[in-house]
Amino acid sequence: MRELRCATQRYDWGIVGSGLCRALGAANAARNGANVDDAFMDGPHAELWIGTHPNGMSVLSDTGVDLRAHVAENQVQCLGARVIDRFGDGGRCDVPFLMKILSVAKALSVQAHPDKKLAKELHARDPKNYRDDNHKPEMALCVSERFEAMSGFASAREVWENARAHEELRRAASDEEAWSDLERALAAGKGDDDDEVKGAFKRVFTALMTAEKATVEHELALMRTRVAAKESRDAKESLFLRLCAQYPGDVGAFCAFVLNYVTITPGQAIVMAANEPHAYLSGDCVEVMATSDNVVRAGLTPKFRDVRVLCDMLTYTLGPPEILTGDVIDACTRRYVPPFEEFVLDVVACASGSTHVAAARDGPSVWIVHRGASLEPIDCASVDGGATTAKRYADRQLEIMRARRMNEREASVVVDAERAEELARFAAAERLGEPLREDERVLTSPGEGSHGAYSSEIERVQAGEEETWSARLERARRNVGEEELVPRRAPRARRGA
């Protein structure tokens, strides 16, 4: 486990004077010897990046080596065979996910992230604006009192009703034929999954986002004046006025009536899949995504916009988004599993004074410590050369996976057989009184063979430490007086983890 020095992004939409990004960024900088003065604390703090992306590279606190270079030189130890096999390219692999802390004071752009195929095309065509060839599906977990976002398209009927209530929206999206086709499909009882509904909706949205600037500004001004004069307003009307104030004359303000307006609370998360429109509005969140910084923007931003690409790339999935609440893993842990494979997110909350032992992972993990917690690594392969053995095991496993085109499980069977054969040779030699030299070992640790009760060095070390850990956990239970909040046994790590 290595401590990281992380990069802070100071975008205009970040929170000034407070926010989790500012607090964690300052704490991280101070731990790494930076001068956390007024100049650091002033101004907006938008994002804290934890990962290997060049736009916000983390570095090792103790050596100053950037994380990407460290991972490149220590592939198996940092990533594990499974991750290398799944995400590696030409024998090299990067951390497959990027984690961020976001503190949002005003709306981010109306945007979407391309899927893998489109990401490669955009990168090849325009590497200046699309510097990555990877997709960027993401998940945002609320860690403030509430977190607001626009996420995905509202249902076709809701958008149709919004246009009836606000003629300015319909005039701005001036494709009357598309509006008529949408009305006819809805009148025929067709739902959001119907191709005719989706096709008409796409034409309406494209007409809106590509409308002439003068038309947009005129209709926004009329609607803003009218809505502001109302004695009472619904949530989307209030959001519309807020967006108009933050980005005057920007067509993205109309998206308040086209996208879902979502408010989530602590413990809830939303997922933004590839090719789905969204815009964060306010609050703090932990955001995790596939490692990429590709963004296709169309509104609510002074940055580069690629409106036609965005309108063409979207799936036009209609209806409210799913709100994730996580799965209970144990007394302290809730797990959030998105519908893509680059990452899962665990939230660990322990009672004051208690201890939680997290199971070993077969891939890279990033931990963010918040509110009085601390981390202590348990190196289950650090005794009697066990660390070297674990590395050799993983290296051999990866070698077999590549040479024989096997998956991780199949290669593990082969390495286990080789390891058992080596163990038997050393045991037989010892029984004959002619022990082999220790430097002849490849997949076993010093001393193995004469003590063959355990199937791996890691299991032997864990068994030896079991009594120590049990006593430590028991003390923690007594301290808090709540036995059920702390696991009774240290979990077993997989060999080679």
Catalytic residues: 297
Instruction: Report the Cα 238 to chain-centroid distance in Å.
Output: 30
Instruction: Report the Cα 269 to chain-centroid distance in Å.
Output: 11
Please state, in angstroms and rounded to a whole number, the distance separating the CA atoms of residues 329 and 361. Answer: 14
Supply 130's token pair. 């699309």
Supply 348's token pair. 């660990």
Please state, in angstroms and rounded to a whole number, the distance separating the CA atoms of residues 292 and 119. Answer: 10
DSSP string, 71-124: HHHSHHHHH-HHHHHHH-BTTB---SEEEEEEEESSPPPEEE---HHHHHHHHH
Please state, in angstroms and rounded to a whole number, the distance separating the CA atoms of residues 309 and 312. Answer: 5
Q: How many CB atoms neighbour CB 203 within 10 A?
A: 18
Residues 6+ apart with CB under 8 A from 474: none
Q: How many CB atoms neighbour CB 297 within 10 A?
A: 22
Beta strands in 329-472 (DSSP E): 333-336, 345-348
Residue tagged 């981390």 (tokens) = 375
Bridge-based pairing of strands 327-328 and 333-336 is antiparallel
What residues pair up with 4 in beta bridges, in sequence order? 60
Q: What are the φ and ψ backbone dihedral angles of 208, each rounded to 5 degrees?
A: -65, -50
DSSP assigned state of 493: P
Q: Angle at the Cα of 12 (from 33 to 322), degrees rounded to 5?
A: 100
CA distances from 233 to 229, 240, 255 (A): 9, 10, 17
Q: Angle at the Cα of 472 (from 466 to 478), degrees rounded to 5?
A: 135
- The residue among 316, 303, 296, 210 whose CA lies nearest residue 254 is 210
